[in-house]
Amino acid sequence: MSARRLLLRSLLALALLLAVLAGGVAALNRHGEEPVDNDARSFVATAGQIERGRYLAMAGNCAGCHTPRGGASYAGGRGIETPFGTIYATNLTPEPQTGIGRWSAGDFWRAMHNGRSRDGRLLYPAFPYTSFTQITREDSDALYAWLRTLPPVLQANAPNTLRFPYDTQAALALWRALFFRPGRFESQPQQSAEWNRGAYLVGGLGHCIACHGSRNTLGATDAARGLAGGMLPGKNWYAPALDAATEAGVAGWSPSDVVALLKTGRSEHGAVLGPMSEVVYGSTQHLSDADLHSIATYLQALPQRPAPAPVPAPRRNESLMVRGEKIYAQQCAWCHGDRGEGESGVFPPLAGNRAVNLGNPANLVQVVRRGGYAPATEGNPRPYGMPPFGHALDDAEIAAVLTFVRSSWGNSAAEVSLRDAMQR
């Protein structure tokens, strides 16, 4: 056989293999899709459906992404930073040119359940359809019904600024073929109705895994690890594990304390800060007590990971400790006490504080640099907060004072390096 003929056969075989792979990817991206009724006029909403949709929009914290600060409600434009570039939330108002005014209930359901837009484009999972796929068609229709009542806003959607090849539909199709399958919430008959409701809210509209789950190098959440904690994409905040008592597990709390934290932003165990403060402000404080109790029931029943084995206390850099102690006395002791004891109900104690002792110090660095504020809620309308110290302390000083705090009064966490403190 001539070399030319052999080369031709090899190229044909490669082309056939690529065609088969492309067909498989395309088939996987159509898996579970049903024919869509594209007539928006055929949908007639009831008053009860609209009110339910309003409530569900808060449960999903939809405004958190689709309403930028100072912008029109649900008109999109907020940038969502990812390791691959920035994705901009779209206009959800019923404006026909730039919003979803021409969308049918079926179009909306396909976006929520299958992650595909009305025009057939695949959607980026920054819109968390990987979680929303679990919600029922009834709830999807209610959300759609409520969104149709919003004032229409003529505002063009901002183009995403993703790097190549992440800005291509082909790359997105391959990602989905690898990491996404449409699903439905499956009730667990051996569990209570309250547990099942909590599982539905946490896993579906609440999309808690989007923050509290770990991600691989391509940005896909690891469902097998569940709510085991992870860095927020595009942010230097760590969402602690919800299945570990040493991080953010609540198995040992009373249900009322879990409800209080989600309702007011505070409990006997502490307060929420950073991105979780936004979630409480825009979402969980508005949920019914019944739904909050269901979420508490589910979170408290999560199988808990065993506590890590104790390790010998690390050897400290004495000069760093001395420097940190001096900074603490000058800047921190006024509120948190000479021995990190804090003041009940006002300033949290730092001694024995599990947020202080997290293995990942990212949140502490952010709070010291930018400040930390609990959300203003009906149950806590004037929350105390920590002012930012980024203007007063440089990176080396932040590393020193946090190393001192994490090594004092019984705390035994690793020191904070200069590299840790430089994360913005």
Q: Tell me, what's the pLDDT at 30?
A: 63
Question: What type of residue sits at position 51?
Answer: E
> Would you say the C-alpha torsion 362, 364, 365, 369 has a positive or negative sign?
positive
Q: Tell me, what's the pLDDT at 387?
A: 93
C-alpha span between 231 and 360 (Å, rounded): 9
Q: Tell me, what's the pLDDT at 43?
A: 84
Q: Tell me, what's the pLDDT at 12?
A: 55
Least confident of 56-65, 67-76, 226-235, 330-339: 226-235
> What percentage of the chain exceeds 70 in pLDDT?
90
> What percentage of the chain exceeds 90 in pLDDT?
78
Report residue 1 as tokens.
């056989």
User: pTM above the 0.85 mark?
Assistant: yes
pLDDT in tens, 322-378: 999 999 999 999 999 999 999 887 888 999 999 999 999 999 999 999 999 999 999
Q: Which residues contact 271 (CB under 8 A, 6 or more apart)?
A: 261, 265, 348, 374, 383
Q: Which domains does the chain have, with CATH numbers?
A: 30-179 (1.10.760), 193-300 (no CATH), 318-421 (1.10.760.10)
C-alpha span between 94 and 100 (Å, rounded): 5
Instruction: Provide the phi-psi class of 342: left if phi over 0, else alpha when psi is between -120 and 50, else beta.
Output: left
Distance of CA 180 to the CA centre of its chain: 17
Please, are residues 347 and 353 in contact by the beta-carbon 8 Å criterion? no
Assign 24 a pLDDT band (cuts: 50, 70, 90): low
Virtual CA dihedral for 56, 60, 61, 62, nearest 10 degrees?
A: -80
Computed over every residue of the chain, the mean pLDDT equals 91
C-alpha span between 264 and 248 (Å, rounded): 17
Report residue 123 as tokens.
């959607």
Give yes or no for residue 32 having a pLDDT over 80. Answer: no
Beta bridge partners of 88: 79
pLDDT in tens, 375-395: 999 998 988 889 999 999 999
Assign 28 a pLDDT band (cuts: 50, 70, 90): low
Q: Which residues contact 417 (CB under 8 A, 6 or more apart)?
A: 399
Question: What type of residue sits at position 135?
Answer: I
Report residue 352 as tokens.
């024995």
The helix or strand, by DSSP H or E, that contains position 161, with its residue range, turns out to be strand 161-162
Assign 407 a pLDDT band (cuts: 50, 70, 90): very high
How many residues are present in the chain? Answer: 424
Q: How many CA atoms lie within 13 A of 70 on its CB side?
A: 0
The helix or strand, by DSSP H or E, that contains position 81, with its residue range, turns out to be strand 79-82
Higher pLDDT, 15 or 62: 62
Q: Which residues contact 4 (CB under 8 A, 6 or more apart)?
A: none
pLDDT in tens, 267-290: 988 899 999 999 999 999 999 999
Q: Tell me, what's the pLDDT at 317?
A: 84
